[in-house]
Amino acid sequence: MKMLVLNGSPKKKGKVAGLLSAVVEGANATHDIEWIDVYNLSIKPCIGCMKCRPDKPCAQPTDGSYIVAEKIAAADVLVVGTPTYWGNMSAPLKALFDRIVTTLEYIETEKMSLPRPLLKGKRAVIVTASSAPWPLNLLSSSARGAVRSVSVVLKSAGMRIVGTIMLGNTRTMDAIPPRAVRRARSIGRAL
């Protein structure tokens, strides 16, 4: 099975990347894994022209979003990690999702008048990290909001969220707590 990991954090050795690595470690023996650091991609922001609707490609010039859209469509499992910024995902991850809406969302076909999720049946895992301490990281203005914003995107595409990890109080920790690493590996094994 193909697993695509999207690291939406600017820190390649930070807490989000560490938790994503632990998910990968858990799943490593059973998946063909590809890792993409979203901050390394060149992605122009969506301009809201709506030329991609209902099922046409984005009108923007070809950039990193096109490559990732193809990889998401080909993957069986998507693992998305992001730091929490004002209760939301990181800006580059949001820009990516905005640009690949016709890959993620639904289209209306000529044969059907009802929307159809394009990635129905695929599984997803969401990883977030927040500097807010527990239980404040559970507020919608913190890690829970980041999980919700990524979840809305993935569920609208038809994906089933099979695991979430919310790590709080990251500013004061030197390393990821062993319990969080075990949970991430466990989620990876379950994939």
Q: What is the mean pLDDT of residues 50-63?
A: 78
Tokens standing for residue 145: 């909001």
pLDDT tens digits, residue range 122-167? Answer: 999 999 999 876 776 666 667 888 999 999 999 988 899 999 999 9
CB 3 within 8 A of CB 21: no
C-alpha span between 77 and 7 (Å, rounded): 14
Residue 164 near residue 109 (C-beta atoms within 8 A): no
Per-residue pLDDT at 44: 92
* Nearest alpha carbon to residue 130 among 80, 93, 88: 88
Identify the band that residue 107 occupies on the pLDDT scale cut at 50, 70 and 90: very low
Query: Where are the alpha helices (H) located in the chain, listed in sequence order?
Result: 15-27, 64-74, 91-99, 101-104, 143-156, 178-190
Cβ atoms 128, 16 nearer than 8 A = yes
Comparing 144 with 18, which gets the higher pLDDT? 18
d(CA 85, CA 165): 16
Model confidence at 186: pLDDT above 60:
yes
How, if at all, do strands 123-129 and 116-117 pair? unpaired
pLDDT value of position 116 = 62
Cis, bond preceding 83 (omega within 30 deg of 0): no
Query: Residue 34: which domain range?
Result: 2-190
The confidence band for 108, taking pLDDT boundaries of 50, 70 and 90, is: very low
How many structural domains does the chain have?
1
**Spatial separation of the C-alpha atoms in residues 31 and 2, rounded to whole Å:** 6
- Conformational region of residue 61, where left means phi above 0, alpha means psi within -120 to 50, and beta covers everything else: beta
- CATH code at 160? 3.40.50.360
Model pLDDT, residue 48: 87
Q: Beta strands 77-83 and 2-7: pairing type?
A: parallel
pLDDT > 90? residue 28: no
